Structures are given as C-alpha cells and as structure tokens.
C-alpha cells in the first residue's frame, strides 16, 4: 500500500529573512546587564567630570586668591620700599647740604686764618721796624748827647708809627661782656644796626683788651678791618646812626651806650681826654677824632683846630679868649 505524500504548502513570496524573523528568539540576560552597566558607567563618568570641574574651579579660585593676596602684599612692600627710598633721598640731600656747609665754613676759616697770618706778619714787620729804629736811636744817643726837644721828637715819631699800625682798627667801648660770647656775630649785628653790613671776611682780627688800670667797665674790643677805607666807612655809619645801645643788640642787663672810635695810642687817648676836659671847662662845643688827630671847634661858625699836644690845647683856649675880647 502506498502512502500518499504529505502536502506541503509554501509561500513563494516569503524571503529567508522573513522566515528568520518570524521565529521567536530568546534574548540573553547579559544584554540587560550590559545596558544597566553602561548607564551606571556614564553616570559615574558624568559625576566624575562634574567633580573634576568643581575641583578645578575651586583650585582656580584658591590660586586667584593666593595671587591676589600676594599682589596686595607686594604692593604694600613696594609702597614701604618707596617710602624708605624717599626717606633715604631726603637724608642724603640733607647730608650733602651739611657737607657743603662744612666745606663753606672750612673755606672761610681757612681764609680767615690766612688773613690773620698776614696781619700777624705785618704787625711783626712793624714791630721789627720800630725796634730797629729804636736801636739805631739808642746807638746814636750813646755817641752824642741830644737835647730834650730831640727826645720829644723821637717819642712823637715812635707814637706816630704805633698809630699807623692801628689805622685799620676800631675800638669799641662799653659793650657788655658775656661768657662764651661770639665777637664776630656781635660786630655783624652792629653793622646791621648802623646800616653798614660787615662780613667775617672784612675782619682780620677781633679781641677784647684789658684796661690800663683796674676798672669795673667792660673790656674794650679791638676790631682790625681789611682796609682803612672800610674802617672809616664803618665809623661814618656809626656817627650817622646817632648812638648805639646794648639793648639793641639783645643784651640783657643794664642798658649801656656803646661807643666806637679809632684805635688810638695811649698818648693820643690821653690828649683826647685832656681836650674833652678843657672843652667842658671852657664851653667848647665840638671835640672829635679824625684820622688819629684830635680836632676841636668852639662853635658851628668857628674854625676847626688840630690838637697835637697839650700846648696846642693851651694855645687854642688863649686864641678863643682873645677872639671873644
């Protein structure tokens, strides 16, 4: 017995891929696990990236803060350095000015010392000249006798030489003494008061001299000027000022009248005093000194008479009396 063949139905329109699709496949469990792992990994990487960015931001802020603080500290230090530099510049300028002042004072002192040496040398030469003349006169006197008039003539010549050595000098009297006084400063102040400025370079020497006799009055001051013309100009300015008082110089104590005259020899001082006493006694109005010569005048309309000896005083008084008669 033959079996009939089984009928097979086929769809000629189906493709092989459709046939595969139509089959029901079973998905493996590892696929689900991989997807979950992938999402967790992405989330972890995202969190890591966020943390990394936040860390970088924080580090950047910290760095900026540190840099800012360092810059502020640097600015403060720079400001302090600038201040110190300016202070050093000021101190350096002050020190340089002080050194310049010291140099100026040193140069002045050197010049003053040089002038003083020249003055001392000049005085020494004058003394040597006078001594030589005195020795020659003594030798002459030993060889032959001389009458009294000749002696007086010699004394007058010696006095004249001494007076010539003082022609540049002024004698200031009745100026109060002070301990550690600066005579150069005083004479500069006097020059300002009499409106005739006097500088240190104008003065060759200045010192106080003791009185010939014991006295309570201040010691006189001798000022040697660099020239006779300057000495005369200072005296003229003093006379035009019509007096000078100690209080004008800022000197405390009793106010005293300060007098300035030519530096006279002892004989001329005695003659000047005798003439003033005679003028007071016989009502002479004017007695003064000009170029180491005593001058007298009875009144404004009278003639000026030079007094060179006590005999001239007697003659002057006699002539005035005879004129009045």
In this prediction the pTM is 0.52
Name the burial class of residue 267, with classes exposed (0-12), middle (13-18) and buried (19+) by CB atoms within 10 angstroms of its CB: middle
Interhelix angle 148-164/266-281, nearest 10 degrees? 100
Q: Which residue has the tokens 């660099």?
A: 226
Which residues have a Cβ under 8 Å from the Cβ of 233 and sit 6 or more positions away? 196
pLDDT value at residue 155: 81
Q: What is the pLDDT of residues 282-292, one digit of tens each?
A: 888 888 888 88
The answer to whether the CB of 189 falls within 8 A of the CB of 200 is no
What pLDDT, on a 0 to 100 scale, did the predictor assign at position 221? 94
Mean pLDDT per 10-residue section of the chain, whose length is 325 residues: 48 50 52 74 83 84 84 82 87 86 84 83 84 80 67 81 91 90 92 92 92 85 93 93 88 88 90 90 86 87 86 83 66
| pLDDT at residue 12 in the model | 53
């Amino acid at each position: 017995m033959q079996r009939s063949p089984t009928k097979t139905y086929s769809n000629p329109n189906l493709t092989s891929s459709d046939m595969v699709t139509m089959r029901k496949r079973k998905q493996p469990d590892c696929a689900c696990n991989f997807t979950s792992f992938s999402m967790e990994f992405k989330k972890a990487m995202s969190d890591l990236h966020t943390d990394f960015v936040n860390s970088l931001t924080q580090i950047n802020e910290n760095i900026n803060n540190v840099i800012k603080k360092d810059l502020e500290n640097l600015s403060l230090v720079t400001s302090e350095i600038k201040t110190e530099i300016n202070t050093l510049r000021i101190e350096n300028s002050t020190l340089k000015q002080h050194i310049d002042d010291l140099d100026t004072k040193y140069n002045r002192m050197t010049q003053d010392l040089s002038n003083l040496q020249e003055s001392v040398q000049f005085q020494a030469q004058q003394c040597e000249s006078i001594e030589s003349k005195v020795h020659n006169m003594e030798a002459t006197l030993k060889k032959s006798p001389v009458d009294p008039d000749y002696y007086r003539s010699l004394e007058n010549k010696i006095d004249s030489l001494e007076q010539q050595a003082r022609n540049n000098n002024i004698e200031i009297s009745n100026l109060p003494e002070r301990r550690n006084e600066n005579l150069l400063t005083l004479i500069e102040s006097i020059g300002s008061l009499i409106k005739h400025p006097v500088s240190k370079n104008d003065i060759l020497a200045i010192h106080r001299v003791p009185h010939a006799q014991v006295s309570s009055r201040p010691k006189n001051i001798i000022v040697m000027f660099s020239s006779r013309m300057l000495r005369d100009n200072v005296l003229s300015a003093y006379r035009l000022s019509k007096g000078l008082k100690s209080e004008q110089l800022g000197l405390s104590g009793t106010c005293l009248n300060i007098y300035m005259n030519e530096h006279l020899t002892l004989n001329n001082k005695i003659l000047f005093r005798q003439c003033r006493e005679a003028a007071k006694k016989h009502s002479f109005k004017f007695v003064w000194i000009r170029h180491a010569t005593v001058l007298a005048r009875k009144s404004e309309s009278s003639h000026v008479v030079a007094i060179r000896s006590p005999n001239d005083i007697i003659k002057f008084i006699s002539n005035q009396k005879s004129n009045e008669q």
